[in-house]
Amino acid sequence: EDQVTQSPEALRLQEGESSSLNCSYTVSGLRGLFWYRQDPGKGPEFLFTLYSAGEEKEKERLKATLTKKESFLHITAPKPEDSATYLCAVQAKAAGNKLTFGGGTRVLVKP
Amino acid sequence: DGGITQSPKYLFRKEGQNVTLSCEQNLNHDAMYWYRQDPGQGLRLIYYSQIVNDFQKGDIAEGYSVSREKKESFPLTVTSAQKNPTAFYLCASSPTLNYGYTFGSGTRLTVV
């Protein structure tokens, strides 16, 4: 069974204080790992897809990396507008289009 | 603009009632999905459909039903058999394999 565990559950940061979110996964043949951002009361918004160990992708203050067992989302010099819940999901090769999601990390950036 | 439209945004259900949540997309995506999100928890898959007139149960399908008569539409019915329906429901779509989902803005269902 595919499993995704995100840590920490919640993260409080001061503006400018860089940090990393962790996504550990077990999957029988990874097709892709996805990161989403979700604001309260809204649907998740796509951020990145990573396909193979060693791959990295960046978008503004966010950088996602992937190893064979986990992915990290690094937030560099965060701003209050980076406050959101960040969701990680995996897609297994044998699972068609299905995504298995982790529980998310709630990030609060204080000015 | 292309996207996914979920309606209504808020829905209240009385005990014993069936309610239907609407999901429409104009992205020309083949696959559509319904997820449930409870406070502090991740998204759990209810049903998904990869083509018209075909759909499969997800991890928590009991008490729910769907139809896929048109490519653009994938409505979800929450039946009276669903014992704990209060949650945030998210519809999503995707074109093919290796693509992430595009999500709608969600429907918050509350049992009163």
How many Cβ pairs closer than 8 A exist between chain A and B? 67
pLDDT digits (tens, 9 = 90+) for A34-45: 999 999 999 999
**Chain B neighbors of A42, CB-CB under 8 A:** 105-106
Q: Reduced to 3 states, what is the DSSP secondary structure of residue A28? A: coil
Q: How far apart are CA B70 and CA B7, in angstroms?
A: 17
pLDDT digits (tens, 9 = 90+) for A43-81: 999 999 999 999 999 999 999 999 999 999 999 999 999
CB neighbourhood size of A79 (10 A): 14
Identify the band that residue B98 occupies on the pLDDT scale cut at 50, 70 and 90: low
Question: What pLDDT shows up at residue B97?
Answer: 58
Dihedral, A24, B47, B36, B6 alpha carbons, nearest 10:
120
Q: Are strands B76-78 and B19-25 parallel, antiparallel or unpaired?
A: antiparallel
Q: Does B2 touch chain A (CB under 8 A)?
A: no
Q: Which of B47, B49, B101 to mutate to test the interface with A (most CBs of A within 10 A)?
A: B101
Q: Which of A31, A93, A97 to mutate to test the interface with B (most CBs of B within 10 A)?
A: A97
Q: Between the CA of residue A55 and those of A46, A58, A89, what are the distances in Å? A: 17, 11, 16
B62 near B77, Cβ under 8 Å? Answer: no
B103 Cα to chain A: minimum distance (Å): 6
A6 near A103, Cβ under 8 Å? Answer: yes
A76 Cα to chain B: minimum distance (Å): 24
pLDDT digits (tens, 9 = 90+) for B80-94: 888 899 999 999 999
Structure tokens at B42: 């991740």
Option in B41, B97, B104 nearest A43 (CB) = B104
Strand arrangement, sheet containing B19-25: B4-7, B19-25, B76-78, B64-66
